[in-house]
Structure 1
Amino acid sequence: MKPDFSFIILTYNEEVHLPRLLKSIEKLGAKIYILDSGSTDNTLKIADQFSAEVKTNKFENHPKQWHYALNNFQIDTPWTIGLDADQIVSPELFEMLASFKDEDFKEINGIYFNRKNYFQGTWIKHGGYFPFYLLKMFRTGIGYSDLNENMDHRFIVPGNTAIWKKGYLIEENLKENDLDFWIEKHKRYSDRVAEEEFERLQGLRSQTLNPTLFGNPDERTAWLKRLWWKLPLGLRPYLYFTYRMLFKLGILDGRKGIYFHYLHALWFRKLIDKKIVALKAK
């Protein structure tokens, strides 16, 4: 019997990741839609092997790419699941999806999956990285991409949501085993985040979600972001790094984990603040 959900996946040169993801969901029998950004490797051949429907769209940022995907694929199932190519559906999550029935979730419009994030083969278990809930499954035509974000992409749904604490979505970008790749990627990301924050300072962007400390995971993130924007530039990366390492026990993640927290919480955030200062100076 056809499941009550379909998958949408974003790709760009994902031949190293896409087979891993597609094999993890293949036996669910769900329709797969792939929005590609102009891959030059074997990504599209792999998509064809798994009978995925493919469209191509020039990439600007993740929120806009997801917006295009949600509005240009003709999804005919009541639910849509949006995944990135470097993610995998764990066997536990597979079983939850295999037994999923729309009739059991009549009062729910969105479902959060719990993510396990890996960096160079190491599970980042602390530092605020686990548990970490992502809204990945939502009612077709109701969930949408938050275009008020320039970098961090998230889906939004009105109404009630559920959180699946078990059955993990595993995320590991194998390209990031090459540290140079990670650094160059985050240099590009820092441009987008700095531009977004600068536009917020000018009142050109607003938060789509209601920032609430005790709301759903995304409303809580919106509250924390609003606090973050009020902290002094240059100082806040050190505060954030200390918070992740000590208060959220990132120091327990081992050598590679500690290096990840340094790169993501301190190096990356310092780079963003420097670029915001440069934008303000102009």
Structure 2
Amino acid sequence: MNKIAVIILTFNESKHIRRCLESMRQITDELYVIDAYSTDDTLAIAEEYGAKIFQRKWLNHADQFQWALDNCGITTPWIMRMDADEYLEPGLVKEIRERMGSIPGQVSGIYIRRKVLFKGKWIRYGGFYPHTLMRIWRNAKGSIEQRWMDEHIVVSEGETIMFREHIVDYNLNSIHWWVNKHNNYAIREMIDLLNIKYGFMEGDQRLLQAGSSQAKRKRFLKEKVYASIPPGARAFMYFCFRYFVRFGFMDGYRGFIFHFMQGYWYRLLVDVNVKEFEQKLEGNTSKERLKEILLTDYNIAI
């Protein structure tokens, strides 16, 4: 039962954390919750499941997760990353139970397929499935990229394999919550795009050396193709590609809402933030000026 320790980052996740922990308890008792000072019942629920709880101020996902790897004293052979609004399908529970005891010694990381549900609808098209992510790795062999957005787990050595079954990502919050979440994401994505253009901080590119072919391809397209297209136009082009070329329309009405909001509205919002930020530069694109604006206008210290 305790070959795997699971790390879950939380902030006000009382709607999801019980479902997540109930799922994870089927494969391990080693549950680590890293909480950003929740004000709801998240911690009380986590305590019910015997989770080891740590509280820490939030900067971003990568910073919080790497802190957990470095400071929680995890001793299990394997570590797993889960989001609070995710859970394991029964098939994955069975696969983990059956296979984890016989993984070859040269294997350091395990990729798992993820299904995304939106308002109860499985988003199967538009490039959202299959989506493979490094979610299980050997203790001390994996770390997380230090990025503001789209951070991945990478292993330092060894081979990787793919499990057949799925993690499910199904957030139960309202569309109002979803919009607020993506409004915050837009600032993080803005920082990533500005850094691609101006190079004001060191970019963590370990994924390009150690990631899956799918993840490498997406990173390359984002940084070398998408980022080079004029703001505004790229959001529209991306939506059209995703909705028509990648058959996003096959996901039906709820799929249209998801692809439009996540594939167009959100990315247009990112571009509006980018243009607004660049206006504040007033022609001064020095690293010092970029970091100054992030600190004074966004309260983000780089």
1:246 partnered with 2:266:
no
Which 10-residue stretch deviates more, 3-12 or 89-98?
3-12
Q: 1:191 aligns with which of 187, 192, 198?
A: 187
- Which position in structure 2 is the counterpart of 1:87? 86
Distance 1:215 1:31, change over 3 A: closer
Report if the CA contact (8 A) 1:207-1:222 is conserved.
Answer: no
Map of 1:61 onto structure 2: 60
Distance in structure 2 (CA, Å) of the matches to 1:29 and 1:152: 27
Is the Cα–Cα contact under 8 Å of residues 3 and 29 in structure 1 kept in the other structure? Answer: yes
Deviation (angstroms), 1:201: 1.5
Partner of 1:14: 13
SS at match of 1:54: strand
> 2:256: which partner in 1?
258
1:210–1:92 Cα change, 3 Å: closer
Q: What amino acid maps onto 2:257 in structure 1?
A: Y
1:216 aligns with 2:201: no
Give, in whole Å, the separation in 1 of the partners of 2:27 and 2:6. Answer: 10
Displacement of 1:207 in angstroms is: 4.3
1:182-233 deviations in Å (ceiling 9; x for gaps): 1111111111111221122111242413648x95332222212222212222
1:97 counterpart residue number: 96
- The CA deviation at 1:118 is 0.6
Q: For structure 1, which segment, 123-132 or 188-197, has the greater mean C-alpha deviation from structure 2 after superposition?
A: 188-197
* In 2, Cα distance between equivalents of 1:163 and 1:41: 36
Quickly say closer, same or farther: Cα 1:215–1:179, change in 2 above 3 A.
closer
TM-score of the aligned structures, taking structure 1 as reference length: 0.93
Moved more, 77-86 or 96-105: 96-105
1:151: how far off? 2.1
Distance (Å, rounded) in 2 between the aligned partners of 1:110 and 1:217: 15
Q: Does 1:78 align with 2:77?
A: yes
Q: Residues of 2 paired with 1:180 and 1:117: CA distance?
A: 19
TM-score normalised by L of structure 2: 0.87
Q: How many residues align?
A: 276
Query: What's the CA shift for 1:9?
Result: 0.8
Cα distance in 1 for partners of 2:33, 2:62 equals 15
Q: Deviations over 1:50-95 (max 9, x none)?
A: 1111101111111111111111111111110010000001100000
Report the counterpart of residue 37 of structure 1 in structure 2. 36
Whole-angstrom distance in 2 between the partners of 1:210 and 1:44: 33
Question: One-letter code of the match for 1:218?
Answer: A
Indicate conservation of the 8 Å contact 2:145/2:204, yes or no: no
Between the aligned partners of 1:49 and 1:261, the Cα distance in structure 2 is 37
Q: Deviations over 1:235-263 (max 9, x none)?
A: 11111101111111100001011110000
Distance change >3 Å, CA 256–CA 58, structure 1 → 2 = same
Aligned partners of 2:42, 2:239: CA distance in 1, in Å?
36
> Partners of 1:258 and 1:63 in 2: how far apart?
30
Secondary structure of the 1:51 match is: coil
Provide the C-alpha distance between the structure 2 equivalents of 1:105 and 1:222, rounded to a whole number of angstroms. Answer: 29
Identify the residue that residue 227 of structure 2 maps to in structure 1: 229
Matched, 1:111 2:110: yes
User: Which residue, out of 256, 276, 280, partners 2:278?
Assistant: 280
User: CA separation of 1:9/1:154 partners in 2, compared to 1, >3 Å: closer, same or farther?
Assistant: same
Contact 1:110 1:161 in 2 (8 A): yes
- Relative distance call for 1:215 and 1:10 in structure 2 (3 A) is closer
For 1:156, the equivalent position in structure 2 comes to: 154
- What is the one-letter code of the residue matched to 2:270? I
Q: Which residue of 1 aligns with 2:269?
A: 271
What is the aligned-residue identity percentage? Answer: 30
The alignment's C-alpha RMSD in Å is 1.7
- Once residues 245 and 145 of structure 2 are traced to their aligned partners in structure 1, the CA distance between those partners, rounded to angstroms, is 30
Conserved in 1, the CA contact under 8 Å of 2:145 and 2:207?
Answer: no
In structure 2, how many angstroms separate the alpha carbons of the residues matched to 1:74 and 1:163? 27
Kindly indicate whether the alpha-carbon contact (under 8 Å) linking 1:4 and 1:100 is maintained by their aligned counterparts in 2.
Answer: no
CA distance in 1, matches of 2:191, 2:231: 14
